[in-house]
Structure 1
Amino acid sequence: MTAGPTTPPTGRVQLALNVSDLEASVAFYSAMFGVPPHKRRPGYANFAVEQPPLKLVLIETSEATRGTGAAGALNHLGVEVGSTDEVAAARERFSAAGLAAFDEDDTTCCYALQDKVWVHDPAGAPWEVYTVKDENPVDGRPATASLEVLGAGGACCP
């Protein structure tokens, strides 16, 4: 017997993109969504878009890594939630479904202190469910802080 539907975490979907020209990408997405970046750091920008509810993350990479068109654009996907309890609920849901999950609690990545849990879809696309505990920690680290979880091609970011 399968379990009935459960309430998904509240929050917004995160889309993390590889970009080879951060400045041009920031200008484009600022115009597209009508908001400036929420956070800027070297090689990194994120947008907290209210409509549609979206956390858009831009991670600067080389042109060779990024390529053109859709190929190479996706870094990872995520769901930003409002609390550590919601991260724990996602972790429990993944475990109950038999999904291999990878925890990162009290991790500093993308210049923020976070709790998160990672899973990969059947084709290997990484998804994170995360909450930001401190938007600007003293020991902020760049988007490459979770490469051991994601493999060489990914990064973490809220």
Structure 2
Amino acid sequence: MKRMHIHLAVENLDQNIAFYSTIFGCPPTVQHEDYAKWMLDDPRVNFAISNRSKQLGLDHLGIQAENEQELQSLKQQLDATQTPIEAQEGAACCYARSDKYWITDPQGIAWESFHSLTEIPTFNDQKAASDGENPFACRPSEDKQSSCCG
């Protein structure tokens, strides 16, 4: 079953962790000095915050697939929009290595469809599979101003 993904850029991570932990009734599932994530089941959402972006607020939205088959189904839906798609294999971002497809909606909001493969010990790494212009693979290459990886 797929999971909605929301990533917000925040200024004060500790203050926001306290706020969202209260709203969700639980502490983050993953927490680092620059990032926190709640993997909630009710509602089924992957909600993440980080303090790595210069622009505060909505960083990006997405849909997290549980497996490769779900990701390929999402890819077919993205293809149907006839909008350019950026594919990333083994991308390192947000303490995970994932296969991803990025698309931008008509309002300019980045949408990430992804399947996480494994956790990694750093927010990102320069060895991520990418096009060289976007070495951290956290956002589509055409949107470099507010990347979650700064």
TM-score using structure 1 length: 0.78
The letter of the residue matching 2:55 is T
Larger Rg: 1
* Contiguous gaps of at least 5 residues in structure 2: 126-134
Counterpart for residue 103 of structure 1: 87
Residues 44 and 139 (structure 1), Cα distance of their counterparts in 2 relative to 1, 3 Å cut: closer
Task: Determine whether 1:49 maps to 2:40.
Answer: yes
Aligned to 1:59: 50
Distance in structure 2 (CA, Å) of the matches to 1:37 and 1:154: 22
Structure (1/2) with the larger helix percentage = 1
| CA-based RMSD | 2.2
The answer on whether the counterparts of 2:88 and 2:100 sit within 8 Å (CA) in structure 1 is yes
Answer yes or no: is 1:15 the counterpart of 2:6: yes
Aligned pairs for 1:98-137 within 5 A: 98-135=82-119, 137=120
Contact 1:101-1:119 within 8 A present in 2 as well: yes
Measure, in 1, the Cα distance between the counterparts of 2:15 and 2:103: 31
Q: Residues 131-146 of structure 1: matches in 2 within 5 Å?
A: 131-135=115-119, 137=120, 141=124, 145-146=136-137
What residue number does 2:74 align with?
90
- What is the 5 A alignment of 1:139-158? 141=124, 145-146=136-137, 147=139, 149=141, 150-155=143-148
Counterpart CA distance in 2 for 1:108 and 1:65 is: 21
- SS of 1:25's partner is helix
Q: Quick one: structure 1 residues 104 and 25, their matched pair in 2 at CA, closer, same or farther if it must change by over 3 Å?
A: same
SS of structure 2 residue aligned to 1:65: coil
TM-score (norm 2): 0.82
Q: Distance in 1 between matches of 2:122 and 2:63?
A: 24
